[in-house]
Chain A
Amino acid sequence: MKLKYILPILFLALFTVSCSDDENDDFTPPTSEVEGLRLIQELDNDTHTIELYNKSGMFYTGYNAVSIRIKDKSTNNYIENATMSWVPMMQMPTMQHSCPNTNPVKASGKNTVYTGTIVYQMTNTDGSGWSLMLDYIIDGVDYMVSDTITVMQNDNQNVSSFMGTDSSRYVVAIIEPENPIIGNNDLVVGVYKMENMMSFPVVENYILTLDPRMPGMGNHTSPNNTNLTFNVADNKYHANLSLTMTGYWVLNLKLMNADDEVIKGEDVTDGNEQSSLYLELEF
């Protein structure tokens, strides 16, 4: 007889338990300012050690966000008031050239870490050829450090360097998403014009049409992608990139100037599987 009183309570208990949510307490203790980053290389001179960090601990072709710390060799303290500029340089057999980059500036919310970006548009197969020269000023005194660095070839084409129909050279590099998801991704791309061997200013107010495809799936594409447009705030191009599954994706692009003239690339059609301007993505 008791059972019939217990049963409803049992049911109740069962079904209320299933509704409750687990709560996660995310408590992380304070840590080092380079937590989560890996050391790429140290550059030394007589007075300072320059530590270069990024997430992978390696330079790869394409867009690199670099974190820097300057350690004073005499005190072992990290410098908090430096101003910096750098020049990455590629030594070719007959000439040398630089690449698109932004100078390191103090990272927001950090005391000792400076961040800058470098877009390596190419490298030698063994990773050689590049060097980095860093000028920095601490308390009005100029310092300099320079060394060769290793830049490995990325497995995917995440940067493209090409001659446009306007006879200018351009560099287009993917910046985000770093960790693509199945779903809508914020695609961020940098577009730079090669004015000369040393100058790669950001190209403003062009448009890149976007057509992501999976060559392994009969050139399947995804819906609701938008064209890449220039954002004045961060000097980069932004778009929505939707990815319907993991795998190998080709982002077909077509670069158009402010007058809608095609600088590089073609539409993907039945007869043309891929644009001559494209970036690759794998996840």
Chain B
Amino acid sequence: MKKLIIVLGVIYSTFSFGQDTLPSIEKKDTTQLDEVILITQRKLSNYRQEKTLSSIDDYLEKSNRITMIKRGNYAWEPTLSNMTSERLNVTIDGMQIFGACTDKMDPITSYVDVSNLKKVTIASGQEGTENGHCVGGAIDLQLPESKYYDFGLKSSVDLGYETNGNYRTAGLDVEYSGNTFYLNADGIFRKSDNYDAGGNQEVLYSQFQKYNISLQGGYKLSDKHQLDANVIYDKATDVGYPALPMDVSLAEALITSVTHTFKSDSTFIKNWESKLYFNTITHIMDDSQRPDVPIRMDMPGWSDTYGFYSKVKIEENKHNLLFNLNGFYNRSLAEMTMYPNDSNQPLMFMYTWPDIRTLYSGIYAKDTYALSGTSTFSASTRFGFQNNTIGEEVGLESLQIFYPELTDSKNRFLMGVSADYQLKKDNYDFAFGLGYGERAPSVSEGYGFFLFNSFDNFDYIGNPYLNNEKSIETNIKFNYYLKNFKVGIESSYFYIMDYIIGEIDPTLSPMTIGATGVKIYTGIEHASIFDVYLNTSYNFSKTLSFNGTIGYNYGQGSNDEPLPIIRPISYLAEVAYTTSKFNAALQLEGNGNQTRFSSFYGEDETPAYGVLNLNLGNIVNLKSNKMVFKYGVENILDTFYSTYADWNNIPRQGRNFYVNASFVIR
């Protein structure tokens, strides 16, 4: 292990010599296949991002490929190409960070807020391996870049109110920017009561409250060198999870990083960014608000991650090279204490994540080569080494119940490669990609101990002997432009080997009272996941446009069972009117009947639905200050519905009037 790190370190060090010797190279624009969601908090955007104070979750949900799994009104879990977090690599500005909840009640996206971020980069499949290994793709939540703009002091205030759930939001942002120094402080507070589903049906335990503060600052050491530091503190309390038997009394994250950036147009290395980071998460599940439970329990979890990355960008002739050397060390610990109904009996305790330490180091390289003015070819690869150690002796002994020969340490070697070709012409563009990738099992999949999944009502046991999950993928994208009309098709196909999923072990007795049985994570031989989207848009005039999307997804395992949480036919249609001071959009969004549901994995059929939304926006300039208003109605017809991704079919919000106001003061 040490050896590998040292070798990588040496590689790293060698890059640092001779950098000032090469002639300057003109910077070329590289087309990205990735989808980028801009978090345009205080601009008028005409496309599906209607609220200035949308949560990150709302922003993500606007992406075609992303679906949010909802267990309540807060902390939705993103899925990308029908794959959930363990198959994805979700990072905050390249930093690895892992939720501390064994039941996935705290996706990483819940620990940041729109005020912390500039944009979200979504990459499908192996295009997403820049920061780590994945099968399904990557979501990188990117922090704002350094701002040495010398605009002095700027501040803004955001206020929001929504009628459904009496949802209140307030945000404050203060920025100072000089030539060599900048500082940005922001805070945001959100609080919602229980929301109502269609037909004024209150959804109990759907309340939440959170605040998030962040501080980012930077100092320019010289023309080419700068140092940035970022601290995010996020604290959610009193979060209800109507789809689950427990709520969360505390979800707290501290995310810190220090970044050194070297930037130069005249040297061989154009950009060299190195970051050291640390983050810590505390997550406490409790059921004290629930009147009726078979047994009272506490389930706290902790996750600490230390890491670094160092990214080098080199441009040479037609090559555009990117190297990323990174490593992290994570500790995940979760425990469960149950209080027997007979108070004479002692407390019941177990480690559900027995202090799993993950040490990873790896290197990524990508070359984008311009074949001609209109076409590029790019290839990337990532190699990594991962060690998992069970830190808690009690945890090792617990797992030895199932795996008597288990030792406390396991090494894995991981790799991924991808290649893609892009062609851009005036009236059409085309992209085609191929990839192969591997991922290690997640902490729950490898080492979870009686993790209850309320979706299929089974207790899950991890399997440290799981093979790496491997995926062969291909994707294709084609857009055709004809004057004001655009039509595009995008599709991806994943053939996943040793697909990790829980399989029933009928000999085991569930731990959770009322659970149906116990599943052990196993790798089924293979699984296929396919999706295709057809996108069209038409601009009637400069101000009036239409766009529509229809999508189809398919997932099947080698056991001839459909995979769970695969999106049924989905559609979205939007008419938008936009001027520089005003915008309006009417949306129709819905899913078809979920005919291919997976009863084998605990799913039931979700009926078709369609909802109608209206959103409007204004910008008002008052001298040098600016006011942005966003307002509208969601679910205008007050439809009562739930989607395939709603945990235990909890219904979604009914009609909701909202207004967001932002004041930008210079």
Which of B8-38 touch A at CB < 8 Å? 9, 12-13, 16
Considering the complex, give the chain B residue whose CB is closest to the CB of A155: B344
Residues of B within 8 Å of A283, CB to CB, are 346
- Any A CB within 8 A of the CB of B510: yes
Query: Contact: B346 with A246, CB < 8 Å?
Result: yes
- Any B CB within 8 A of the CB of A4: yes
- Any A CB within 8 A of the CB of B427: no
- Any B CB within 8 A of the CB of A3: yes
Query: Contact: B13 with A246, CB < 8 Å?
Result: no
Which of A12-55 touch B at CB < 8 Å? 12, 14-16, 18-19
Given contacts A184-B400, A218-B294, A247-B346, contact A11 B276 (CB under 8 A): yes
Query: Contact: B295 with A244, CB < 8 Å?
Result: no
- Any A CB within 8 A of the CB of B345: yes
Q: Residue B511 contacts which of A11, A18, A19, A244 (CB distance < 8 angstroms)? A: A244
Number of residues of chain A lying within 8 A (CB) of chain B: 36
Residues of B within 8 Å of A216, CB to CB, are 295, 338, 340-342, 345, 348
- Any B CB within 8 A of the CB of A97: no
Residues of B within 8 Å of A181, CB to CB, are 394, 397
Query: Contact: B401 with A242, CB < 8 Å?
Result: yes
Given contacts A216-B342, A244-B450, A246-B347, contact A11 B400 (CB under 8 A): no
Residues of A within 8 Å of B347, CB to CB, are 246-247
Which of A130-181 touch B at CB < 8 Å? 181
A242 CB to nearest chain B CB (Å): 4
- Any A CB within 8 A of the CB of B290: no
Secondary structure of the B side of the interface? mixed
Q: Residue B308 contacts which of A14, A220, A247 (CB distance < 8 angstroms)? A: A14
- Any B CB within 8 A of the CB of A232: no
Given contacts A3-B225, A217-B295, A223-B402, contact A12 B511 (CB under 8 A): no
Number of residues of chain B lying within 8 A (CB) of chain A: 54
Query: Contact: B513 with A16, CB < 8 Å?
Result: no
Q: How far is the CA of A278 from the CA of B513 in the complex (A)?
A: 22
Query: Contact: A224 with B402, CB < 8 Å?
Result: yes
Q: How far is the CA of A242 from the CA of B329 in the complex (A)?
A: 32
A156 CB to nearest chain B CB (Å): 10
Q: Residue A217 contacts which of B221, B272, B348 (CB distance < 8 angstroms)? A: B348
Query: Contact: B16 with A244, CB < 8 Å?
Result: no
Residues of B within 8 Å of A3, CB to CB, are 221, 225, 260
B275 CB to nearest chain A CB (Å): 10
Considering the complex, give the chain B residue whose CB is closest to the CB of A5: B16
Q: Residue A19 contacts which of B1, B336, B351, B449 (CB distance < 8 angstroms)? A: B1
Query: Contact: B5 with A15, CB < 8 Å?
Result: yes
Considering the complex, give the chain B residue whose CB is closest to the CB of A185: B397
Q: B residues touching A (Cβ–Cβ < 8 Å)?
A: 1-2, 5-6, 9, 12-13, 16, 221, 225, 260, 262, 272, 274, 276, 294-295, 306, 308, 310, 327, 329, 336, 338, 340-342, 345-351, 359, 361, 394, 396-402, 404, 449-450, 507-511, 513-514
21 sample A-B contacts, Cβ–Cβ < 8 Å, listed by A number: A7-B274, A8-B9, A8-B12, A8-B310, A11-B12, A11-B276, A11-B308, A12-B5, A14-B308, A18-B306, A18-B329, A19-B359, A181-B394, A182-B394, A183-B401, A184-B401, A216-B338, A218-B514, A220-B513, A245-B350, A248-B345
